[in-house]
Structure 1
Amino acid sequence: MEKIALITDSTSDLTEDIIEKYNVTVLPFRIIYKDREYLDGVDIKPNEVYENLDKEVPTSSLPPLKKMHEVYDDLQKQGYTHVIAILLSSGLSGIYNALSLVSKDYPNIQSFIFDSKSISHGEAVLVEESGKLITTQTPFDTIKEKIEEFRKKLEVYFVVDTLEYLKRGGRIGKVSGTIGELLKIKPIISVGEDGKYFTVDKVRGKKQSLKKIIDVGKSKLKENTRIILMDGYAKKESQYVYEELKKYSEELQQGIVELLGSISPVSGVHSGPGLVGMVVFNN
């Protein structure tokens, strides 16, 4: 009989109830300051990162390989036969490659290391849907096929106050706009097929960027659409977008709109303050 473990990383922004419900193992990234180091989402909160950015911008690092080995050792002792790991886009991080290498050291466990080509609640949706399948004892090979299908139904959009932090962290992808920033042009950013950021549209000013996010959300709402909103030190703005989309959803009597709070501290390091994000999942 298959015993399937579910792994993700801290950038998935999973809620505690989903972690507990589906027994998810979360690998925390590291946030590194000059004189100290934190585990993402474990011993540092998002606001602590944002409120200290004017003093020091930390760097981030993968979970240690030792930690990945410890997770597999523990799963092996518990008698797990299979692992499904859904991870931050390989276009944004090396965690997919790192865990893929570690998994090869455990031939007794059949592993499916999946590149989400997404981030935040984009990852989380894939983890949650996988958890549902595991609890209904869906075969491992079927779950693998389903995850591929789920990813095709997933879109992520966000806007940031400044591109400074994406540039600093090397996560800028195909997004550009140094001159545009001087003109207060705000790009609407998404994640492409290559797992890297790209510009969907450009508008002038924060107010117009939020309106554009709302317009995109409205255009995506259908009967089975799930829209999830999150923020990076922009609660007021994300609340506004949530209320507008929630109202529209109720008028249409279609879809579900959720507001799930802050992105992980390590994501905040790379986005900077002022992020409003939206995940669209059409199941």
Structure 2
Amino acid sequence: MPTEIPKTSLPEGAVIQEIFKKIIADGYEQLIAITISSGLSGTFNSIRLIAQDFPQLETFMFDTKNIGIGAGSHAIKAAELITQGATFEEITNNLSHSTDKSKIFFSVATLEYLQKGGRIGLVSAVLGNALKLNPIITCNEAGVYHTVAKSRGRKKSLEKTVSLVKEFVGNHQNVRLLVAHGNAEPEALVLVDVLKKEIPQANEILVDQISPALVVHTGPGLIGLGAQLLD
């Protein structure tokens, strides 16, 4: 990444078609397709259109209006419901009412990659880096990137991110916390301990590396903190 910024793209239609064919060949009759926000990627619409070519497979499309681990948490919830023996209708109904129950906030270490990827202008990036501004980004109700706060310095930015997660959780008692990082594991593990202290009622904390398809736009050092409300 120091010398070249890779490009990202949605899966080719032929690839999606082959996956559909394999699902049917394996004997499945119902499919739950959970994707990142349609406001950030054409993946949702591409799968939706291809699904129409396979009427023998009852397909439920779920647009998470979210990104990264915030979107992935919905897939985890669906898998848990399947394990618990929930019906297709029960699972799809649960998902349909859960879009706003998962939230992720990303703290960006540098504005360089947002500028290189065309997300912000060069002047804004130079000025922001000079002032050591660290934006905190989430997805709004339309599933589009939205800057919720700006802090000067890494430490204040991460503290603010923790406070945003705590505010989102509120008084909810059945909660799953989410921590993702882009080559910043030591910081991520420190924040796991902070979240445990600030939100002690959490059932569990999921920690993982951020997908390259996301970190390519934000650069190494990205930290994502969030929560999924389960009650």
TM-score, scaled relative to structure 1: 0.73
Structure 2 partner of 1:275: 222
Q: How many residues align?
A: 225
2:163 maps to which residue? 215
2: CA distance between counterparts of 1:75 and 1:139?
A: 18
Kept in 1: contact 2:5–2:116 (CA 8 A): no
Is the Cα contact below 8 Å between 1:192 and 1:198 reproduced in 2? Answer: yes
**Counterparts of 1:70 and 1:110, CA distance in 2:** 17
The percent of aligned pairs where both chains have the same amino acid is 37
Gap change, CA 1:205 and 1:181, over 3 Å in 2: same
Contact 2:105-2:226 at 8 Å conserved across structures: yes
Q: Summarize the alignment of residues 150-189 of structure 1 with structure 2, pairs less than 5 Å apart.
A: 150-170=98-118, 177-178=124-125, 179-189=127-137
> Which residues of 2 match residues 101-116 of structure 1 at below 5 A?
101-116=49-64
- State how 1:110-129 maps to structure 2 within 5 Å: 110-129=58-77
Matches within 5 A, 1:41-120: 53-120=1-68
Question: Aligned-pair RMSD on alpha carbons?
Answer: 2.0
**How much has 1:213 moved relative to structure 2?**
1.5
Q: Does residue 258 in structure 1 map to residue 230 in structure 2?
A: no
Report the alpha carbon displacement of residue 170 of structure 1 after superposing the two structures with TM: 4.7
Hey, what does 1:236 align to over in structure 2? Answer: 186
Q: C-alpha deviations, 1:110-146, integer Å up to 9, x for none?
A: 1112111111211221111111222334232222220
Asked if 2 retains the 8 angstrom alpha-carbon contact of 1:188 and 1:213, the reply is: yes
TM-score w.r.t. length of structure 2: 0.89
Matched residue of 2:148: which SS? strand
Q: Which amino acid aligns with 1:229?
A: V
The secondary structure found in structure 1 opposite 2:195 is: helix
Which residue, out of 231, 239, 247, partners 2:197? Answer: 247
**How far apart, in 1, do the equivalents of 2:14 and 2:227 lie?**
35
4+ runs deviating over 4 angstroms: none
2:32, 2:117 → 1: CA distance? Answer: 28
Q: Note closer, same or farther for the CA distance 1:131–1:259 as it changes in structure 2 (3 Å cut).
A: closer
Residues 217-272 of structure 1, C-alpha deviations (whole Å, 9 max, x = no match): 3333642122111101111221221111113334xxx1235251211122221221
Using a 3 Å threshold, how does the CA distance of structure 1 residues 99 and 203 change in structure 2: closer, same or farther? same
**1:59–1:216 CA distance, 2 compared to 1 (3 A):** same
CA separation of 1:170 and 1:125: change in aligned 2, threshold 3 A = same
Unaligned runs of 5+ in 2: none
Q: CA deviation at 1:182?
A: 2.8
Which ranges in structure 1 are unaligned for 5 or more consecutive residues? 1-52
Structure 2 letter corresponding to 1:223: Q
Q: Could you tell me how far apart the structure 2 residues matched to 1:279 and 1:62 are?
A: 25
How far the C-alpha of 1:106 sits from its partner, in A, is 0.2
CA distance, structure 1, for counterparts of residue 45 and residue 61 of structure 2: 9
2:224 alignment partner, SS class? strand
